[in-house]
Amino acid sequence: MKTIGYAAHSSDAHMVPYHFERRDLRRNDVAIEILYSGVCHSDLHTVNGDWGPQPYPLVPGHEIVGRVIEVGSDVENYNVGDNVAVGCMVDSCQDCDQCHSHEEQFCRNGMTPTYGAPDRISGETTQGGYSKHIIVREEFVLSVPDALDISKAAPILCAGITTYSPLRSWNVTKGSRVGVIGLGGLGHMAVKLAVAMGAEVTVISRSSNKEEEAKAIGAKGILVSKDEDAMDAAASSFDFILDTVPVKHDVSVYTPLLDVDGTLTIVGQVGPMDEFMSWPLIGGRRRVAGSLIGGIKETQEVLDFCAEHNIHPECKIIKPSEINDAFEHLSKGDVAYRFVMDMSQLAEDAA
């Protein structure tokens, strides 16, 4: 299938129009016309080579919402015209214990990311959602509930599941005292999801500048991490803290905020961290953990949960030709929402 997208050809992260071929439809494949593609900070890190060398040219994008245009002969759950979604992975071995437990992101043989990885069958590099079409095996295609606004649903496929999965894994429920570090693309989704689960949510930030924004989406307020008196007063006051900060930072500032048996889970930063003090962990049987997206079953669950609770990411809709400007904003860290590309404008945009 001939298609068009935006690709990086080197580690300078500059995106340009790119014509390429999608693979032929296999019997268990779903062909999708992409309608909206979310822009994730990890896309910028990846094409920049921050996480290692990349197989350029590379088409990023793992927050994909579209419409089925063709199905393989063995496909059972999707029909032409269905609204569907694709997230951060497009394949796994399907045979190991983790795949059988619906935790494909931890596939013992390695899951296949939506872009920048070898296809398990052909070996060709997977290309992502900054494009007009994509072909994905049925098991990794998700249904988009009718109650969701498809123009705003794409970031649920990454920001949504990345925050939902640890909230579920650490049993956040009614009455849980939850702290969310950072109120960016991940953080604002964490607040919305935790509030819908019945938790008492506080945003932890370096300043109080976003306090009204935090309260507007259900948080009770902001705890300013630079205010030593306020931080001391908040010691042992959280059952769970979700750390969404995407850059290197000192976790030791936050661990004393956990109550006994509390957990701080990192979902933002990937890479080396500052050394942290062990005493707050030992002295309160506290934990620092990590979490990676979620499995396909759980990703469908978060889509359904967002539909049920009318949760949508805060989005700014842009043209595909504006992707380099969006990357510039991401690199500066001055974004209070998720960028989503309207891919209906791609053909004329990139012609």
Q: Which residues contact 148 (CB under 8 A, 6 or more apart)?
A: 156, 303, 306, 307, 312
- For residues 50 and 70, give the distance between their C-alpha atoms in angstroms, rounded to a whole number: 36
Q: Which residues contact 3 (CB under 8 A, 6 or more apart)?
A: 19, 20, 21, 22, 131, 132, 133
Domain boundaries, the chain: 2-158+313-350, 159-290
- Contact (Cβ atoms closer than 8 angstroms) between residue 25 and residue 135: yes
Section 263-268 average pLDDT: 96
Per-residue confidence at 349, pLDDT binned at 50, 70, 90?
A: low
Report the range of poorest mean pLDDT among 39-48, 69-78, 131-140.
39-48
Section 235-258 average pLDDT: 95
Predicted pLDDT at 332: 84
Section 38-54 average pLDDT: 92
Per-residue confidence at 2, pLDDT binned at 50, 70, 90?
A: very high
- Environment class of 4 (CB within 10 Å of its CB; exposed 0-12, middle 13-18, buried 19+): buried
Predicted pLDDT at 273: 85
In CATH, what number does 159-290 get?
Answer: 3.40.50.720
- % of the chain surpassing 90 pLDDT: 89
In the predicted model, what is the mean pLDDT of the chain? 95
Question: How do residues 55-67 score in pLDDT, each as one tens digit?
Answer: 999 999 999 999 9
Question: How do residues 95-142 score in pLDDT, each as one tens digit?
Answer: 999 999 999 999 999 999 999 999 999 999 999 999 999 999 999 999
* 318-348 burial: b if 16+ Cβ within 10 Å, else e: bbbbbbeebbebbeeeebeebbbbbbeebee
Predicted pLDDT at 13: 77
A 10 A CB-CB count for 191 gives 27
Predicted pLDDT at 333: 79
In CATH, what number does 2-158+313-350 get?
Answer: 3.90.180.10
Is the model more confident about 41 or about 26?
Answer: 26
pTM of the model as a whole: 0.95
- For residues 347 and 351, give the distance between their C-alpha atoms in angstroms, rounded to a whole number: 6
Q: Which residues contact 38 (CB under 8 A, 6 or more apart)?
A: 61, 63, 64, 129, 154, 155, 157, 158, 159, 338, 339, 340, 341
Q: Which residues contact 283 (CB under 8 A, 6 or more apart)?
A: none
- Contact (Cβ atoms closer than 8 angstroms) between residue 52 and residue 90: no
Per-residue confidence at 276, pLDDT binned at 50, 70, 90?
A: confident
Residue 42 has pLDDT above 80, yes or no: yes
Q: Is the dihedral of CA 60, 290, 199, 220 positive or negative?
A: negative
CA distances from 53 to 56, 101, 129, 204 (A): 9, 31, 20, 34
Section 65-85 average pLDDT: 98
Residue 75 has pLDDT above 90, yes or no: yes
Per-residue confidence at 348, pLDDT binned at 50, 70, 90?
A: low
Residue 347 has pLDDT above 80, yes or no: no
Residue 256 identity: P
Q: Which residues contact 162 (CB under 8 A, 6 or more apart)?
A: 186, 267, 291, 292, 293, 294
Residue 247 has pLDDT above 90, yes or no: no
- % of the chain surpassing 70 pLDDT: 99
Question: How do residues 311-332 score in pLDDT, each as one tens digit?
Answer: 999 999 999 999 999 999 998 8
Cα of 149 vs its chain's centroid, Å: 18
Residue 351 has pLDDT above 60, yes or no: no
Closest by CA position to 245, among listed 339, 164, 181: 181
Can you read off the two tokens belonging to residue 304?
């359904």
